[in-house]
Chains A and B, each alone.
Chain A
């Protein structure tokens, strides 16, 4: 397992660094592969991601518009429509596949917003500490206590109805957990000698935070991010179900809202309601499994617990 630059020949610093990174990655993958649930989650995500990305190849956009619906109202499952049709005669299977695109996109974007916000606030609060840092953590605590759904509903209700609003509503309410985590990790990292070295060599606040603290905080953030995506997807479907989403886009929560409004619940049209909900559950479950597996690898304290 020696580097490409053979025995005796001193490898360049860069080659050494890459070699170390490669070895870390291999070790990481091996650790991850030990968690069978994590592998199932990863497989599920790859499958769903591929279906969502390739959806335009086999679904005609006209067939999932309200006006161009090919079938009759509420047809039960058949060969032509494996999951039946909805209130407008669209194939439920097509809708669910298409819905994956919005649900995943919103899930990822909202998570990105909240993780970026949480990381920024966490690092700043941890790095500067003092009065400002304490004040930031107070704000974080306050957001943490507020019921997330109530806050997100309020935001989504106040802003105009669009997919972007949902992203903002979830992103702005879901960051406190990340911020706390990042702050704790920042404090741990900053206590180590290499930070002192960087400071002694004249590294400014920005330099230390971006070049030294951030890379060391990222692993914790990564696991948290994966868990957050699951939450964001459920939150998105919830807001859409409550009628706060963009009515023109097809999302899983939106399909369920339409099903409920069309009376699918009391008339027992199960094929209209089960697939979208199951899709939400499976995607959220996949992300949760991956996130827990990542957490297990990256946080050795938890490792023996699984």
Chain B
């Protein structure tokens, strides 16, 4: 008895240290990745040919003294290593410097724009994941059927369609009011000016949200469908399904109680891991629909080019993806006992 208990205790201890090592390893990887992103974004935007001050002042007459003053204001007269230290210190305080074009702190711009982006990306990902997973389950379960082939074909086509073009088409057909249909939806933006009251604003924002979300879903869901489908296919031959059938369960129950829970697990992580694509999609869709989020901000920063803004957004986008990946890594062992050992 005592021997077994000791073994059990040793087991728990070993397991705990293994879990700690796993979590520690992931955390370390994420921190190193974040640091690498910071360094990359600093040096990447410093190899920009041309003078940022000239870019800031295009189309205006500026004296040499004014240029020097601007340089001092933005810290561009400092040596590179000093700029890098200032930049790191700034990042630690969420201070990304002043935007060249708006002349306000970049952190304020980002704080303003982050809400709309989260709203759009969140709604889009959620709807896309629901549709993709549902269709993927059906396609995988009845694989080779007409429905499966039709679903796969549509998914592959949407996979090949550039998201910005799809957004433009939606605007032409459903919003511009020039074709056969009247303008059912707004052509862009997030809210109609002058709308007041909680209910009215919610309805108005929802109305503006329809086309951007539809575009995003169309582009992203195909991926979830294919992932879910192939993960269903991995399960279809499994012995436990034969057992479930042998004990007389109906097909729908075999699917719901046995196949789907197992197939869903890899899909959950892959949904997190594919967030990079969602970020890319958000930038394009916000640009097309003039949605006042981080993507539009990125686009407007690129046109100048507004160095601090673009650099900060690069860090924000990359960090968001790294942190999401970290979450997926940490949550996955909790969901799937198979990888815990």
Residues on A facing B (Cβ under 8 Å):
37, 138, 141-142, 145-150, 153-155, 157-160, 230, 234, 237-238, 241-244, 253, 256, 259-260, 265-268, 270, 273-274, 276-277, 280-282, 284-285, 288-289, 292, 305
Smallest Cβ-Cβ distance to B48: which chain A residue? A158
0/1 per residue, B178-198, Cβ < 8 Å to A? 110000000100000000000
**Inter-subunit contact A142/B33 (CB<8 Å):** yes
- Does B276 sit at the interface, judged by CB under 8 A? yes
**Inter-subunit contact B318/A150 (CB<8 Å):** yes
Smallest Cβ-Cβ distance to B280: which chain A residue? A149
> Known contacts A145-B325, A150-B314, A284-B160; is A157 also within 8 Å of B187 by CB?
no
- Does B260 sit at the interface, judged by CB under 8 A? no
**Inter-subunit contact A238/B164 (CB<8 Å):** yes
- Does B49 sit at the interface, judged by CB under 8 A? yes
Given A243-B303, A266-B187, 12 additional A-B pairs, CB 8 A = A37-B153, A147-B280, A149-B283, A150-B283, A150-B317, A154-B314, A158-B44, A242-B299, A267-B178, A277-B168, A281-B160, A288-B159
Please provide the 8 A-B residue pairs with the shortest distance between their CB atoms, ordered closest to farther. Answer: A268-B178, A149-B280, A277-B165, A284-B160, A147-B276, A285-B160, A147-B279, A281-B161
List chain B residues, Cβ under 8 A from A282.
160
List chain A residues, Cβ under 8 A from B29.
138, 141
Segment 318-339 of B: residues with Cβ below 8 Å from A: 318, 321-322, 325
- Does B116 sit at the interface, judged by CB under 8 A? no
A216 to chain B: closest CB distance in Å?
Answer: 25
Complex CA gap A300/B124 in Å reads 36
Ordered by A's residue number, 5 sampled pairs between the chains whose C-beta atoms are within 8 Å are A146-B276, A158-B47, A238-B162, A273-B168, A276-B165
**Inter-subunit contact A305/B162 (CB<8 Å):** no
**Inter-subunit contact A267/B33 (CB<8 Å):** no
List chain B residues, Cβ under 8 A from A253.
162
Smallest Cβ-Cβ distance to B167: which chain A residue? A265
- The count of chain B contact residues (Cβ–Cβ below 8 Å) is 53
List chain A residues, Cβ under 8 A from B33.
142, 145
B152 to chain A: closest CB distance in Å?
Answer: 9
Complex CA gap A252/B15 in Å reads 56
- Does B176 sit at the interface, judged by CB under 8 A? yes
**Inter-subunit contact A145/B302 (CB<8 Å):** no
> Known contacts A147-B276, A154-B45; is A281 also within 8 Å of B299 by CB?
no
A142 in complex: contacting residue of B36, B49, B143, B187, CB < 8 Å: B36
Segment 142-184 of B: residues with Cβ below 8 Å from A: 143, 153, 156-157, 159-162, 164-166, 168-169, 171-172, 176-179
Residues on B facing A (Cβ under 8 Å):
29, 33, 36-37, 41, 44-45, 47-49, 143, 153, 156-157, 159-162, 164-166, 168-169, 171-172, 176-179, 187, 230, 233, 275-277, 279-280, 283-284, 287-288, 298-299, 302-303, 305, 310, 314, 317-318, 321-322, 325
> Known contacts A274-B169, A281-B162; is A145 also within 8 Å of B187 by CB?
no
Smallest Cβ-Cβ distance to A285: which chain B residue? B160
List chain A residues, Cβ under 8 A from B178.
266-268
A304 to chain B: closest CB distance in Å?
Answer: 9
List chain B residues, Cβ under 8 A from A148.
276-277, 280
B110 to chain A: closest CB distance in Å?
Answer: 15
B233 in complex: contacting residue of A146, A149, A305, CB < 8 Å: A305
Complex CA gap A226/B82 in Å reads 46
Complex CA gap A138/B25 in Å reads 13
B325 to chain A: closest CB distance in Å?
Answer: 6
> Known contacts A150-B314, A265-B172; is A157 also within 8 Å of B305 by CB?
yes
Complex CA gap A277/B219 in Å reads 14
> Known contacts A147-B317, A288-B159; is A265 also within 8 Å of B165 by CB?
no
**Inter-subunit contact B310/A154 (CB<8 Å):** yes
**Inter-subunit contact A256/B168 (CB<8 Å):** yes
A305 in complex: contacting residue of B230, B284, B303, CB < 8 Å: B230
List chain A residues, Cβ under 8 A from B310.
154, 157
Smallest Cβ-Cβ distance to B177: which chain A residue? A268
A195 to chain B: closest CB distance in Å?
Answer: 31
Complex CA gap A270/B288 in Å reads 16
Complex CA gap A146/B176 in Å reads 36
> Known contacts A157-B305, A268-B172; is A147 also within 8 Å of B160 by CB?
no
B117 to chain A: closest CB distance in Å?
Answer: 13
List chain B residues, Cβ under 8 A from A292.
156
> Known contacts A154-B45, A285-B156; is A265 also within 8 Å of B176 by CB?
yes
Of A157, A158, A234, A260, chain B has the most CB atoms within 10 Å of the CB of A157
Of B36, B165, B277, B283, chain A has the most CB atoms within 10 Å of the CB of B165
Complex CA gap A241/B166 in Å reads 13
B261 to chain A: closest CB distance in Å?
Answer: 21
B258 to chain A: closest CB distance in Å?
Answer: 20
Complex CA gap A138/B29 in Å reads 9
List chain B residues, Cβ under 8 A from A265.
168, 171-172, 176, 187
List chain B residues, Cβ under 8 A from A268.
172, 176-179
**Inter-subunit contact B156/A288 (CB<8 Å):** yes
Complex CA gap A83/B231 in Å reads 43
List chain A residues, Cβ under 8 A from B321.
145-147
List chain B residues, Cβ under 8 A from A276.
165
**Inter-subunit contact A150/B287 (CB<8 Å):** no
List chain A residues, Cβ under 8 A from B325.
145
**Inter-subunit contact A147/B318 (CB<8 Å):** yes
